Amino acid sequence: MKHILNKNDVEINIKKALKILKNGDLVIFPTETVYGLGGNATNGNAIKKIYRIKNRPINNPLICHFKNIENIEKNFFLNDIAYKLAKKFWPGPLTLVLEKKDSSTISTKLSNQQKFVGCRIPNHPIALKLLSGIPFPIAAPSANISTKLSSTKINHLSKKLKDNIFVLDGGKSFYGLESTVINASNNNPKILRLGSITLEDIKKIIPNIVLKNYKTFSNLSPGQQIIHYSPNLPIRINVNSVLKGEGLLNFGTNNLKSEIIELNLSPTENLEEAGNNFYDYLHILDNSQCNGIAVAPVPNHNLGKTINDRLIRASTINSN
């Protein structure tokens, strides 16, 4: 059943959210990727609140959300590579790590005192309305407790967040996977985090771009912890059989079966469909009666690379 939102309720709640943000407090809001936990990016106390409620390590930077590229240009230096990527993918699920200007009022607390910050322009009507109603960008990591599953619906949110933070409901996220993060601050661009825009699509614009090694930590981008995006239940990936008591996160057609619960990311092997279902299905399995989650192999190309990156970071055992 399609999620239907009352337009009047949305407008009323956006006004509430704007007031909350202006007062230095936090809101949970939808983006096209996953739900974000946002605060005033120029307010150091608001940034502290984000880190505190998420239990997030201070060296894990926050992404800054802007309403347009002009506002980014006021705060950051953009080179030819950044402009090429921005022209193609903004607004949308791309985060560019840029060098901050000395004149910028964006808090250094969101980037661990560094001058390099991840910036993006989201492509979601509610997120853009929020950004258009305030004179500052919004710092917003994913709306989850640190290292846990991201949220693509409001019923994915943890009790801690729902009980303490005002929530704007925007229905299910369109992409279902986080933004792709690229360090575009120099002439040697590097993908720091795989996301909703694929390596293959980026290479069409920047053929010489490289992908950061999975095990190499970068303090310029979120999502770099070895253990991250994890359900509460143990998870095994690339399985060829399902153990007793395990639920199954399947992909395509195969002989894998679970006696308890199984969900198929995409029976037709459509990676866009799989990405959209990914966190939703993991949340369902994590709250089921199974004692662990077995995951079928997912092809390692296009969005499959992003899904596999998340699965590797979420898993406790990498293969059967």
* pLDDT tens column, 190-227: 999 999 999 999 999 999 999 987 555 456 666 555 55
| Domain 235-314: CATH superfamily, name plus number | Threonylcarbamoyl-AMP synthase, C-terminal domain (3.40.50.11030)
pLDDT score of 289: 95
pLDDT score of 230: 85
Q: For residue 129, which of 34, 36, 4, 17 has the smallest C-alpha distance?
A: 17
Q: What is the tens place of the pLDDT at every residue in 262-303?
A: 999 999 999 999 999 999 999 999 999 999 999 999 999 999
Identical fold between 7-211 and 235-314? no
Contacts of residue 248, defined as CB under 8 A and 6 or more positions apart, other chains included, come to 242, 256, 257, 258, 261, 262, 263, 293, 294, 295, 296
Task: Give the gyration radius of the chain's Cα atoms.
Answer: 19
DSSP reduced 3-state for 73? helix
Q: Is the model more confident about 317 or about 137? A: 137
Per DSSP, helices labelled H in 179-302 are: 199-205, 271-286
Q: For residue 39, which of 146, 157, 140, 166 has the smallest C-alpha distance?
A: 140
Q: For residue 266, which of 255, 279, 256, 275 has the smallest C-alpha distance?
A: 275
Per DSSP, helices labelled H in 1-158 are: 7-22, 44-54, 69-75, 80-89, 125-132
Q: Can you tell me the mean pLDDT for 245-260?
A: 97
**For residue 228, pLDDT beyond 70:** no
| Domain 7-211: CATH superfamily, name plus number | DHBP synthase (3.90.870.10)
Q: Where are the domains of the chain?
A: 7-211, 235-314
Beta bridge partners of 262: 248
